[in-house]
Structure 1
Amino acid sequence: MTYRIAAAAELVGVPATTLRYYEDIGLIEPPTRGGNGYRTYDDADLARLRFITATKNLGIPLADVAELVKAYDVEDCSTVAHQVVEMVAQRLAETQTLIGELVALAAQLQTVAARLAEAPAAGPCGDGCPCATAAPAPLADRRTFVPLTRGPAPASDEPVIACSLDAGSVPDRISDWQALVARATLREHVAGGIALTFSASPALAAEVARLAAAEQDCCTFFTFTIQMTTGQVRLEVQAPPGAADVVAAMFGIAP
């Protein structure tokens, strides 16, 4: 079956201009044209375009998508899937780092907003006024919870999905978790979260316990369960349904 560009674009879920753009940059070969000069796409073209759209929607750069398309056309599915997994892992690491940076920025902005609210009602600005000195300073005796999700506030009996870790420590904490999660030998779904299994060693067991305790202190909506058996350490991470994206971003997902 063949499709004109408007029908093909609708079936793939992108504007017709996107298909023309893909053609212009060489991401796809120019489609066959009918006797009337109109572009025509067949089912194989649509399957390829859906693959392109799916990988692009994962945030994979178009230059990398182009390499995947080359593999898609000549390799078996397992080989293509392996390449996609590698690119997704890279995007996940980048996204987790960005989450840490955004949480840190949110904490800084909340601190700035609180200090600016203390500005005097009258008088000119000067060197010592909050407008000029609102940059956040370390506050050892109090913490600010930064919401990690959007949407309405939870009911009074539900945990708040927020983090109180000071802004400067967030990127390092994210990096610590990334390094630990990368050492997992098994990932499994559990109710409300994920379970990570590691090959046991005294140092690893101590690191799991240290990170879990530190994380639960600043993100009280998490529940961590550590099980130690011969040769293995198992960490279960659970959270309310509203925090599912946070769990996936920090700890990954089970295959």
Structure 2
Amino acid sequence: MSYRIAEVAELVGVPATTLRYYEDIGLIAQPARGGNGYRSYDDADLARLRFITATKNLGIPLTDVAELAKAYDVEDCSTVAHQVVEMVARRLAETQTRIGELVALAAQLQTVSARLADAPTSGPCGDGCPCATAAPAPLADRRTFVPLTRGPVVAEPGAHVIACSLDAGSVPDRVADWQALVARAVSREPITGGVALQFVASPELVAELARLAAAEQDCCTFFTFTLTMTTGQVRLEVQAPDSAADVVAAMFGTAA
């Protein structure tokens, strides 16, 4: 069966301009052309383009995708799959490094925000004002790695595993849920191993705090949540091992 470029673009899920770009850089060969001069693709072209698109969507660089495409043309499936696994492993390591860096940066930004909130309301800026001194030292190599895995995580006896079993696609929504809830806190204070948030109590708020805390503890077992209700108030304590301090600060803020 033959396909026009617009049909292939729709079936593969990329713009026609991307297909032309792949031709320009030699990632795919120039397709045959019909008597009317239009590009004509066959089922083999379509299958190859689907493979290229799938590997590209994993974040694998085009140079590596080109190597995989060459293997796809001549190697058996198990050999190609092994190469993809190796590239995915490298991509995963790079992604976890970036997550660690972003978590550490988010924790520092939380600290800076808290310090700047105490800035005086009058007077000029100077050497000692929070605007100039709130920022901490440059990021050191103290990244917190939070592997995202559904498999069992084995720790040394007595050690804490800083890991999350939530699938990567659900992480942004979970973080957004926590940020929306944390923004409703009326006060916060440091506690051993974490932070305590105070809220004005309501049935809806208590239910949401309990739901999120239970969901978070289910996928991130290194967290400890304590929910205390008194007349008109509810207190949420979030604690974690010292090695996860950056994660606590990034998700729940700091009391500094």
Do they superpose with TM above 0.5?
yes
Give the Cα–Cα distance (whole angstroms) in 2 for the partners of residues 196 and 118 of structure 1.
42
Is the Cα–Cα contact under 8 Å of residues 3 and 40 in structure 1 kept in the other structure? Answer: yes
Matches within 5 A, 1:59-70: 59-70=59-70
Identity %: 73
Paired residue type of 2:160: L
User: 1:242: which partner in 2?
Assistant: none
Give the Cα–Cα distance (whole angstroms) in 2 for the partners of residues 169 and 28 of structure 1.
41
C-alpha displacement of 1:223 = 2.2
Indicate whether 1:81 and 2:81 are aligned: yes
Matches within 5 A, 1:34-45: 34-45=34-45
C-alpha displacement of 1:117 = 1.1
SS of 1:194's equivalent in the other structure is coil
Give the Cα–Cα distance (whole angstroms) in 2 for the partners of residues 196 and 113 of structure 1.
35
C-alpha displacement of 1:194 = 2.8
* Inter-CA distance 132–94: structure 2 relative to 1 (3 Å threshold): same
Gaps of 5+ in 1: 138-166, 182-188, 198-203, 225-245, 247-255
Aligned residues: 172
User: 1:97: which partner in 2?
Assistant: 97
Matches within 5 A, 1:47-58: 47-58=47-58
Give the Cα–Cα distance (whole angstroms) in 2 for the partners of residues 87 and 196 of structure 1.
22
Query: Deviations 1:201-243 (Å, cap 9, x if unpaired)?
Result: xxx734xx3233x77967983227xxxxxxxxxxxxxxxxxxx
Give the Cα–Cα distance (whole angstroms) in 1 for the partners of residues 71 and 96 of structure 2.
28
- TM-score normalised by the chain length of structure 2: 0.61
More RCO (CA 8 Å, sep 6+): 2
Residue among 159, 165, 173 paired with 1:210: 159
User: 2:120: which partner in 1?
Assistant: 120
C-alpha displacement of 1:195 = 1.1
Give the Cα–Cα distance (whole angstroms) in 1 for the partners of residues 163 and 14 of structure 2.
41
* Inter-CA distance 196–117: structure 2 relative to 1 (3 Å threshold): closer
User: 1:195: which partner in 2?
Assistant: 152
User: 1:106: which partner in 2?
Assistant: 106
Is the Cα–Cα contact under 8 Å of residues 104 and 168 in structure 1 kept in the other structure? Answer: no
- TM-score normalised by the chain length of structure 1: 0.61
C-alpha displacement of 1:196 = 3.8
User: 1:223: which partner in 2?
Assistant: 221
Q: What's the Cα RMSD here? A: 2.8
Gaps of 5+ in 2: 165-192, 195-212, 223-246, 248-256
Give the Cα–Cα distance (whole angstroms) in 2 for the partners of residues 134 and 205 of structure 1.
38
SS of 2:106's equivalent in the other structure is helix
Give the Cα–Cα distance (whole angstroms) in 2 for the partners of residues 44 and 65 of structure 1.
17
* Inter-CA distance 127–62: structure 2 relative to 1 (3 Å threshold): same
C-alpha displacement of 1:168 = 5.3
* Inter-CA distance 69–136: structure 2 relative to 1 (3 Å threshold): same
Which of structure 1's runs of 4+ aligned residues deviate more than 4 A?
A: 167-170, 214-220
Give the Cα–Cα distance (whole angstroms) in 2 for the partners of residues 13 and 27 of structure 1.
17
